[in-house]
Structures are given as C-alpha cells and as structure tokens.
C-alpha cells in the first residue's frame, strides 16, 4: 500500500505530478499561487513526503530536485477504493446515486459515464 498522503501534501503532489523534477522553490511558487501558503510550509511538506518516500530527491548542486515516486494513477486508484469501501461498502453504484441525487451529475456527465461503461463492456 502507498503511504498515506495528507490533504496538504496532496496539493504538493499534484504540482509534482504535473511537472517533475522541480526544485522546492518551483514547487512552492505553484502551490503558493493556488493556496497562499508560505515557502516554509511547502518545504516542510516536501520533507515529509520525502521522508515517507512518496517523493524522491536528487541532489543538484546546493539544492534538491523533487520527483514523485508514486504514480498519480496508482494513488488515485488506491484512495478511491478505500473511499468507496469505507463509505459505500465497496459498491460504486450508491456513490453514483448519491452524486446524482445531489445534482452533481450533469446530463453531459451522464453521457460520458455511459460512454465509458460501453467501452468497458467491449
């Protein structure tokens, strides 16, 4: 199992998944853009992720280059399963039903999902 990634850490991961390797400052620039945290905060998150071996570091002179060691797809698959297991007894249908009920599904969404399901059956 992939190490647990906290919500704030996840924000940092998204940046690295979008582009890597990056320096701490480069990561921070992007995260700060989106979340307004301080540089120190982002560095702490990077350290924690590195300590958990969720991101890897590569020395580049006096600084580090950070890269994800966990693939986004693998991570998402893992947390999705956990989520559906915990809240919906592992069944996706009730999840879709809930989202639909809360008007989170547009007609386009429905069409998209239908298309996806059609492909899955093929």
CA distance 118 to 115: 5
CA distance 43 to 63: 12
Question: Interacting stretch for a copy of itself, rule CB under 8 A, among 23-31, 34-42, 51-59, 110-118?
Answer: 110-118
The angle at the Cα of 112, spanning 84 to 102, to the nearest 5 degrees, equals 55
**Pattern 40-79, binding to a copy of itself, x per CB under 8 A?**
---------------------------------x--xx-x
Residues 6+ apart with CB under 8 A from 112: none
Cβ 9 to a copy of itself, closest distance in Å? 12
Residues contributing to the site for DNA (CB under 7 A): 4, 6-9, 23-25, 35, 37-38, 40-41, 43-45, 47-48, 50, 61-64
């Amino acid at each position: 199992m992939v190490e647990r990634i906290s919500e704030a850490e996840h924000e940092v991961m998204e940046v690295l998944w979008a582009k890597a390797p990056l320096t701490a400052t480069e990561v921070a620039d992007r995260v700060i853009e989106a979340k307004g945290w301080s540089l120190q905060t982002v560095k702490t998150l990077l350290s924690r992720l590195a300590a958990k071996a969720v991101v890897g570091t590569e020395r580049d002179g006096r600084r580090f280059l950070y890269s994800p060691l966990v693939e986004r797809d693998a991570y998402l698959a893992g947390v999705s399963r956990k989520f559906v297991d915990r809240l919906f007894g592992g069944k996706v249908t009730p999840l879709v039903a809930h989202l639909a009920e809360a008007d989170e599904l547009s007609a386009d969404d429905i069409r998209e999902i239908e298309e996806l399901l059609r492909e899955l059956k093929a």
